[in-house]
Amino acid sequence: MPDTEQTGPDLPTPVMAIESSCDDTACAIVRADGEILAETTLSQSGHVPFGGVVPEIAARAHLAALPGLVRDTLARAGLRPRDLGAIAASCGPGLIGGLIVGADMGKGMAIALDRPFIAVNHIEAHALSPRLPGVAGNGAPFPYLLLLVSGGHCQCIAVEGVGHYRRLGGTIDDAAGEAFDKVAKMLGLGWPGGPAVERLALEGDPHAIALPRPLMGRAGCDFSFSGLKTAVAQKLPAEVRTALPRPLAADIAAGFQQAVSDIVIDRLGHALDMMERPTTLVVAGGVAANGVLRARLRAFAHEHNLPFAAPPLRLCTDNAVMVAWAAIETMRARRAAGLPIPDDIALRPRPRWPLAEIAQRMTATGTDIPA
């Protein structure tokens, strides 16, 4: 048996996790009780000239950064590699090049140390992050309603248990974060666009520019932001697009931000109707850092007598702490079911990995868990 912390039989921790699904390279070490021993995140800057993430650049940056990042995270935790109980990595969904780099690094460490390797679904990691002790008391109790809003995802998910998720609705075109980035580019702002739009919106009037609210009032809780993005483009005078007057840009930014939050609140109301008695309203993903949206979500939860939980801002965006915690939750749930700790060495990273396929991890009896 490895010389590692054990919380119950066959639950080896601490877990070192790697996150490399997009443009953030991250590593973290987390104990079974949720204590974060160390976390390190590097945000890539090489994409700024292109106004968005370039997959090949991202993969090469992950490859260059990960060895040093792993060493630094171990040093911060005061641990040696052999002190680790398990290794985890995001294996999808995401940019396949980055996923391969992170997964192969994790698998190599697991093989060299003779430790289990746990493949983590990136969306599941976001979904389970509110259960990390300290985020929502001792962890958000099941079942809860999750709003995941980020650059690549916009979904309402009923989180009913580890491995058990119901997608209530999602975007049919752009994700909210993607729309923020594209509007920022139209307004001549920097990348990433979300923080830039939010800062500029502080100077504007959210009601000065009339913008549509796609799908608002419709049945279900799907989202659409492509038409809103197009409407913003139509508000820009062609002759001044290269030097948009700041007051006009600020009003557009404020109006766009208001429209996004209106759409999200409307869709959440429908999601509540589709889920029986959620314990908590949870928000995660990079767009959850938007102050206007977060304030409106908090008010919405209060109006519906629901506790509101949001991870700290550093854990809303892509991070390795949530990946480690998802691995711990998976190990604990399988142990409780009398099943072995998974060892996903044979699992291949996937650019698409629907949450609906995760439930089999809770019932598979072998050590190599299918995805």
- Residues annotated as binding site? 122, 126, 148-152, 181, 194, 198, 290, 318
Alpha-carbon gap, residue 86 to 14, rounded angstroms: 7
**With 0-12 CB in 10 A as exposed, 13-18 as middle and 19+ as buried, what is 104?**
middle
Which contiguous run of DSSP H or E holds residue 149?
A: strand 144-149
Binding-site annotation, residues for substrate:
148-152, 181, 194, 198, 290
Q: Give 107's Cβ-side CA count (13 Å radius).
A: 17
CA angle 135, 139, 140 (to 5 degrees): 100
Both tokens assigned to 31: 């104990």
Both tokens assigned to 183: 């509007």
Alpha-carbon gap, residue 13 to 83, rounded angstroms: 9
The DSSP code sequence of 9-24 is: TT-EEPEEEEE-SSSE
Residue 190 φ/ψ, nearest 5 degrees? -80, 180
Q: Which residue has tokens 């999808």? A: 92
Alpha-carbon gap, residue 322 to 335, rounded angstroms: 20
Within 8 A by CB and 6+ apart from 298, the residues are 308
**With 0-12 CB in 10 A as exposed, 13-18 as middle and 19+ as buried, what is 78?**
exposed
Both tokens assigned to 200: 């500029």
Q: Which of 35, 1, 39, 15 is nearest to 327 (CA)?
A: 15
The DSSP code sequence of 193-248 is: HHHHHHHHHTTS-TTSS----TTTT-SS--B--HHHHHHHHHTS-GGGGGG--HHH
Q: Using only C-alpha atoms, what is the Rg of the chain?
A: 21
Q: Which of 290, 329, 311 is nearest to 146 (CA)?
A: 311
Binding-site annotation, residues for Fe cation:
122, 126, 318
Q: Which of 327, 306, 323, 307 is nearest to 315 (CA)?
A: 323
